Amino acid sequence: MQNATGPLSGIWLPLVTPFKCGVLDWASLQRLAAHYLTQPIDGVVLAATTGEGMTLDPSEVSSMVDIVTEVFDGALPIYLGVSGSDTRKVVSAVRQANRLSIDGYLVTCPYYTRPSQIGLSRHFEAIANAADRSVVIYNIPYRTGVNLSNDALLALAALPSVRGVKDCCADVGQTGDLLARRGPDFSVLTGEDALFYTALAQGADGGILASAHIETAAFADVYARMTAGDQPGALLAWRQLSYVPQLLFTEPSPSPIKYWLCRQGLIESPEVRLPMTEVSAELASRIDAEVERRVAA
């Protein structure tokens, strides 16, 4: 289990939220949690982007946390995805969620409004002050429309509750600068699945990876080889694995992941909530072929 105060590292899973006939599928969620408890992951994030968190009601989020907490029984840390463009509402949501059995929050930059760096800083300061547990900042400008600068991020890192960043800035130079300047207790976890090896080679501490729903052990192996100093072995392992995120992000996530998990029997339905839609017949056929190939191997 991750240390409660030390740096975050390794493979973190932004868990999908299973649905069936328009409602949460509790049996599938329990099955998922039990499965990934046996896999080499270092933590999970609930109700984030991959978990379709923006479509979930507060009561659904609370029930999800209760179910996963019961299955994990303290074996793995649980973070909760939080997002919004109104700082007051996000702060209120965090204060409400402080009552849940979670270890921290993954908080996105406010989307659409495109505030200044000062506005972003004050937004995260307010959230960090409201949270009574750890905060990981999620910087993903191609979704939110605003890029949190390294200067602003590293200033926020001085706040006691801010422990790291999920880095999806999509700028290798910005990531490299961040890794060179961050302190020893501030974690940088990539959220760019296709760039996982590259991020590790730059010095990232791990990743929050939707693709790690599939081939979980293989993602963990890349990480383990890199941290052991076996960069050639990590590169070889990555070359054998890199097709997985390419396939899973052929269409908007998490639909391909849910379809694959359904084919594996881990969830009963690949259903997603609008505006997301299920995978195309073409992609379903490609995933079917991969599942069948693995069964035959």
Is 138 catalytic? The answer is yes
Asked whether residue 108 is assigned to any structural domain, the reply reads: yes
Q: Per-residue pLDDT tens for 115-131?
A: 999 999 999 999 999 99
Assigned domain for 123 exists:
yes
pLDDT above 70: residue 1: no
Q: Tell me which of 294 and 278 has the higher pLDDT.
A: 278
Among 36, 105, 138, 223, which one carries the catalytic annotation? 138
Per-residue pLDDT tens over the stretch 70-103: 999 999 999 999 999 999 999 999 999 999 999 9
- HSE, side-chain direction, 13 A CA sphere, residue 245: 20
Which range of residues forms the domain containing residue 39?
10-237
Catalytic choice (79, 105, 166, 258): 166
Residue 284 covered by a domain:
no
For the segment 221-250, the average pLDDT, to the nearest whole number, is: 97
In the predicted model, is pLDDT for residue 284 greater than 70?
yes
Question: pTM for the full model?
Answer: 0.96
pLDDT greater than 80 at residue 220: yes
Q: What integer pLDDT is reported at residue 217 of this predicted model? A: 98
Q: Is 154 in contact with 162 (CB distance < 8 Å)?
A: no
Asked if the structure places residue 99 within a domain, the reply is: yes
CATH at 146: 3.20.20.70
Domain assignment present for 279: no
Average pLDDT over residues 160-170: 97
CB 34 within 8 A of CB 1: no
Angle between helices 281-296 and 255-264 (to 10 degrees): 40
Phi-psi region of 268 (alpha: psi -120 to 50; beta: other; left: phi over 0): alpha
Residue 148 near residue 181, CB atoms below 8 Å? no
- Residue 88 falls inside a structural domain: yes
The count of domains in the chain is 1
Average pLDDT, the chain: 96
